[in-house]
Structure formats: C-alpha cells, structure tokens
Amino acid sequence: MDASLHDALELIGDDRELLADVLAHAPVGIVLLWGEDHRYRFLNARARELLPGDEPLVGLTVAEAFPHVVEARRELLSRVMDRGETVVRERIPLPSEDPAACEGSLWLDLTYSPVRDADGAIRGVLCLFVDASAHERERRGLTRALAHERDLAETLQRGLLAETTPRIPGAEVATRYVPATDGMAVGGDFYDVFRCGRDRWLVTIGDVCGKGADAAAVTALVRHTVHAVARYESQPARILCEVNRAIARDPTGRFCTVALAALDLSGEPAEVTVALGGHPPPLVRRPAANGRRGRAEPVGEPGTLLGVFPDPALHQRTVALGRDDLLLLYTDGLTDARAPRRTTTPDELAAALAATGDSPPGATIDALIHSLAAGPEGFRDDLAVVALRRRAPR
C-alpha cells in the first residue's frame, strides 16, 4: 500500500462516517459496480449529477439502467473484470443541458479500475468520472483561434506574393510558394515577377528573417521598393542598394536576403543580369547539345545581406540565356528542408536540377520540391521557387 494512503487511512481509523462523507462529497464522480453483472453498489452525488436521468441507480445493473449503452461498455468492463486492466477514456461526450456543458455535451475523462478482495480476486469495478468540459471548451476555443490566425496568415501571405504568374512572350515561367507545415505565422519567403520595359522583366526572390507581422512589413517594403526604383534604375545591384537603404530606415530592425534577376529578351541569345544581397545564387540549366550532357551552373557573385550595413558589397553578373535554358531562383527552404539532419549542398542542387532534363518550369520545380524538400513530417520552413525557361522556336 502506498505510504501516503496508509497515513490517510490511519487518520480516518474506524471513523466510517468521515470516509463516507469524503466519498459522497468528492468533486469527482465515484461509482462502484459489483459482481459479474456490473450492479451499482455505490455512486456519489457528483456521479449522479454527471450520469443521465434522475432515477435511483443503486441495485440496478448497467444493462438495466442504461440498456442503450450496455453493448458499448461490455467489452470495456470485461477488460477490467476478466483481465484486471485499468482502462482510461478521455473526452467522452455525454449529451447534457447543464449550463457547464460544452456545445451540448459534458465531456468526461473516465477511469475504470478493478476492485479486488483480500484474496486478490476481482469483485468489481471502480469508476471515476472527471468533468473535463471546461478543458474541452478551452481546447475548442484555442483551435478556433488558431484556425483564424492561420486563415489570416494565409490571406496576408497571398497579398505579399504576385497575384498571378505573368505571361512572358518568348519564355515560360512558373512559381511556387509552400508555407511551413505549422502554417501559424506569415513566412518571410517571397517572390515577384514583373515587366520593367518592352522586353525587360525583373524577377525578385527573397527571405526576410523571422515570421509574423514585422516580417510581412519588410516583405511588402522590399517588393514595393523594387517596383518603385525599377521605374528609373535598370541595374539590379543599384536597385538592391536602394532596397538596403529602405530596410535600414525601417523600425522593425529586420534584415533579409534578396536575389534580383533582370531578364533582357530583346536579343538572341537573351541575357540575364543577377545581383545577390546575401541570397543563394540562382542556377541556369543548360540542355544537352552536340553530344554534351545537360548541366546546371550557378549565376551571380555573393553579396552582403540587406538591412545590416550602410554600404553593402553588391555585384552583378550577366550571362546568356539561350533557347531552352532554364533559370531557377529559390529560397533556402528548398535546400534546408531536412535540416538539421542534412542540408542540400550547392553541387547536389545543381545535380538535381540537371537531372530534370528538359522538363518545363512547373514540372522542374515540383520535381525539386519532391526530391529535396518534401518529407513525412511536412515542411519545416516555408519556401519559394521561380523557374523561367527561354522558349525554343517551334
């Protein structure tokens, strides 16, 4: 016998009235079922309040008192009486008009334990009923609040991304944004694709540190600054300098990484000029030709992340984008999805991209997400990917 229980029984001694008073007025429901027919021998006031109906139950069997539930309880009571198990059932709904009910039911946590005689033989079942309706009400309220927060985050996130993927003459483009599986806050990953001249397009992809409203504010600031500066400035590195100044003035104290690619489709081959503000370099997938295998290679020179230093080191590099070449921009949610176990190295990402062959942009992105980021536990971080392919003449 547990020492504390022994001490309690010593205090009670032979005072049966004290013990009866403790059992009768306990704040949890207590029921004693006796014999193989599960006959009610005792139930306290709280149990009577929790159980349906108001007729006396002592002396009745469970089958007599509640014939509509006897089949559902038969297997459970057998486990206790025949096998000596203690069975716990949580959040069992019981229809009730009680003011304390949660959405028309009392929610009970039930424990069924065997009662043994002096020889160790099981003679009955002790049932404890705990009213968990308040906890269930709190849980449901929290679930609704979290669902509302998730919906708000999704709505705000959609507002921070390009509404539609634009149609670019002479090119195919696809975009993907995948939120983290928890989905409870606005992520910091974003992308944008827009025209900035007759045959010129700007592709932006970035990652703001953190999540939530502050990250959303910086995301909006970066997108709007790029759009505004691109009206009078064509060089990606200079555009990122202005973005850096805007973030530095922002009171949130956030920083971000950005890759900016300016696409010029006026000539043949086309050209893409890339500037990197602390962001992983885009990749260009070159198709197989003249007996040479297809390959993927990085574009751009590493630069300083934005929002930290007044004069970041920002460079730009220009490469040709021939027919059927594909440009891929991504955030680190694609390569770090399986951290901390492992991360995808730049060489592994290039190999995975080359392995997609001549797949169109959408299929290419989906293949990379499936092979590098998707897992049984979902996505640990949000990710954004943009793929653009020069269209070969038909």
Domain positions in the chain: 3-131, 163-390
Gap between the Cα atoms of 189 and 205, Å rounded = 8
Name which of 324, 392, 336, 393 is nearest 364 in CA terms.
324
Neighbours of 344 (CB within 10 A): 21
Name which of 105, 101, 110 is nearest 129 in CA terms.
110
**In Å, how far from its chain's centre is CA 42?**
48
Structure tokens at 178: 């995948």
Structure tokens at 28: 């949890």
Name which of 384, 380, 379, 382 is nearest 365 in CA terms.
384
Gap between the Cα atoms of 206 and 221, Å rounded = 12
| pLDDT score at 78 | 86
| pLDDT score at 107 | 85
Q: What is the pTM of this model?
A: 0.63
| pLDDT score at 206 | 92
Structure tokens at 230: 């691109």
- Which strand (E) or helix (H) includes residue 133? helix 133-160
Gap between the terminal Cα atoms of the chain = 87
| pLDDT score at 233 | 92
| pLDDT score at 2 | 47
Gap between the Cα atoms of 187 and 166, Å rounded = 23
User: What is the residue whose two structure tokens read 């009078």?
Assistant: 232
| pLDDT score at 333 | 86
| pLDDT score at 271 | 94
The torsion angles phi and psi of 173, rounded to 5 degrees, stand at: -135, 145
Gap between the Cα atoms of 109 and 129, Å rounded = 6
Cis link prior to 280 (omega < 30° from 0)? no
Given the candidates 3.30.830.10, 3.40.50.720, 3.20.20.100, 3.60.40.10, the CATH classification of the domain at 163-390 is: 3.60.40.10
Instruction: Say yes or no: do domains 3-131 and 163-390 share a fold.
Output: no
| pLDDT score at 5 | 45
Do residues 356 and 363 touch, judged by C-beta distance below 8 A?
Answer: yes
| pLDDT score at 1 | 43
Structure tokens at 234: 């064509």
**Cα–Cα distance list, 148 to 141, 144, 214 (Å):** 11, 6, 19
Query: pLDDT tens, position by position, for the chain (394 residues)?
Result: 445 445 555 655 666 677 777 777 888 889 999 998 899 998 888 888 888 878 888 999 888 888 877 677 778 888 898 899 999 988 888 777 777 778 878 888 989 999 998 888 999 999 998 888 888 888 888 878 767 666 665 656 565 566 667 888 889 999 998 877 565 556 678 899 999 888 899 999 999 887 777 777 888 889 899 999 999 999 999 999 999 999 988 877 788 999 999 999 988 899 999 999 999 999 999 987 766 677 999 999 999 999 999 899 999 999 999 999 999 999 988 888 776 777 889 999 999 999 998 899 999 999 999 888 766 565 667 889 999 998 755 5
Gap between the Cα atoms of 161 and 386, Å rounded = 12
| Sequence letter at residue 11 | L
| pLDDT score at 69 | 72
Residue range 3-131 forms a domain whose CATH class is alpha beta
